[in-house]
Every structure is written in C-alpha cells, then in structure tokens.
Chain A
Amino acid sequence: MRSLTVLYDAQCEVCRRARAWLERQAQYVPLEFVAAGSDEARARFPGLDARRTLEEVTAVGDDGAVYRSAKAWVVCLWALVDYRRLSLKLARPRLLPRAERFVARLARRRRRR
C-alpha cells in the first residue's frame, strides 16, 4: 500500500481534531483526507455507500482495500512511524474486539448529538 485515503465526517469536531492529529504525525504511508459524503468522495469512491462513510470512519488504500471503524483506526496508526508498533498490538485478537467496542461507543455518542 502506497497511500491511504481517510473519509471522515468533516462536520464533527472530534473527527476534525483526529484528522489534525494524524496529519501532524510522521507517516510511513501518506495519509489523505476527504470529507465523507462530499462530491469529491463520491467521485473518487463511487463504490462506497456515502451514508455509511458518514457514520463510521473509512480508510481506503490505493490498492482498493476498505477498512471501517476500528480497523480504519488501526490502519491509520499503522501508517504512522511512531504508532505502527501500537497498531500491531491493537490488531491482536485479544485487543481488536475491545477497540471495536470502544470506537462503536464513540460513534454512537457522536450520532446522538
């Protein structure tokens, strides 16, 4: 994978902050950010369900691999020089379900507002 495009909810403060944080980190794999549900997102990824990308963060590799929710987070961390080790730990079978629950809870809270 040579680049990773992250579809995030540009209307959400937490998501924008997360984007800003990710952009500041040193990257093994360049990260690109596109507002979910935008015309650009639709034009570049016609195969993705736009509503779903607004509900959960989605990362798409240049190889066409689509990662959603906690997996998108793990892949974003994997793209970062200082967090790749952490991403490998998070991806272990014992931790991934917890990360998934955590991210799902965050997403629910976000939707309620």
Chain B
Amino acid sequence: MTNLIVPTYFLYLAASIALTVWVARTLHKNGRVFLLDVFGREDLADSVNHLLVVGFYLVNLGYVALALKLGYAVANVQQSVEALSLKIGWVLLVLGAMHFFNLFVFSRMRRRRQLERTPPPVAPDARLGKPAGA
C-alpha cells in the first residue's frame, strides 16, 4: 500500500497557489479603477492597489500553508481526491471571503469619497449679489 500523502500535498499547494494568484491578479487589475476614482491620483492609487494585493497574498498563502496538514494517511487515489477537494474547497471559501472583503473596502472608500464631493443638500433661501466673505 503506497502512501499518496506527499503527492496530495503537492497537488494541493499547486492548485491553491494558482487560485490565489488568479484571484489576486483579478483584484489588482479591476480594483485599480475604483482606487483611481477614490484617490484621483494615479501614483497613489497604484501604491494602495499594490499594498492591498500584497496583504491579500499574505493572508491567503498563510492560510494555505496552515491548512496543509491532513492528519491522516491517504491510501488510494479516491482518498487523495477527497482530501484535495476538502482542502481546496476551504481555500476557495477563504479566497472568496477575502475577495468580498476587499470589494467592501473598495466600495466604502468610494462612498466616502463621494460623500466628500456631495453638494449642500438644501437649496439656499437667498443669494447675495457679490461673493460673500473675504
């Protein structure tokens, strides 16, 4: 009876890292537009975008590493596939949660920015002829 645990680990790592890279790239590519709208400056938007993606990688790869260990022997291919699907399922859920969290952060930033630009919500009662004040 062969132990398939190490090949399973490698498959798990390969799939998890590939998924993480894919989601991070998607986030990086499509998040930029949001950040440009929020910050209005390209350099700042790119910088924040990059920092966000680094954080995203750290959290996800950290989770992938922590969740590697199976804790039981894998005797055949069936068990290997089952173990893989369980692990990768969790990785996908964590990725999904992180992704939505990022979207939430983006939209919050954007809402805040829009609030800053909102004009007064009531119409003036009168208007002085010349600009008031100093």
Interface residues of A (CB under 8 A from B): 1, 3, 5, 28, 32, 44-45, 47-48, 60-68, 71, 74-75, 78, 84-85, 87-88, 90-91, 96
Q: Are B132 and A1 in contact (CB under 8 A)?
A: no
Q: How far is the CA of A63 from the CA of B120 in the complex (A)?
A: 12
Residues of B within 8 Å of A64, CB to CB, are: 127-132
Instruction: Mark B96-134 against chain A: 1 for CB-CB distance below 8 A, else 0.
Output: 000000000000000000011011111011111111111
Interface of B is mostly: loop
Closest to B129 in A: A47
Please give me the 10 A-B residue pairs with the lowest Cβ-Cβ distance, nearest first.
Answer: A91-B121, A65-B124, A64-B128, A66-B126, A71-B122, A60-B132, A68-B125, A47-B128, A91-B122, A88-B121
21 contacts between A and B (CB under 8 A): A1-B120, A28-B116, A45-B128, A47-B128, A60-B133, A61-B132, A62-B131, A62-B133, A63-B132, A64-B129, A65-B124, A66-B124, A66-B125, A66-B127, A68-B125, A71-B122, A71-B124, A75-B122, A84-B118, A88-B121, A91-B122
- The one of A32, A44, A67 in contact with B122, judged by C-beta atoms closer than 8 angstroms, is A67
Q: Is the CB of B115 within 8 A of A32?
A: no
With the chains together, A90 CA to B120 CA distance in Å?
Answer: 12
Given known contacts A5-B133, A62-B133, A88-B118, A67 and B128 CB-to-CB distance under 8 angstroms: no
Report A1 CB to chain B, min CB distance, Å.
Answer: 7
B115 to A85, Cβ gap below 8 A? yes
Q: How far is the CB of B68 from chain A (nearest CB, A)?
A: 45
Q: Which residues of A contact B125 (CB under 8 A)?
A: 66-68, 71
A3 touching B133, Cβ below 8 Å:
yes
CA distance A60 to B127 in the complex (A): 9
Contacts of B126 in A (CB 8 A): 66, 68
**Nearest Cβ on chain A to B109's Cβ, whole angstroms:** 15
Query: Closest chain A residue to B125 by CB distance?
Result: A68
Q: Are B122 and A96 in contact (CB under 8 A)?
A: yes
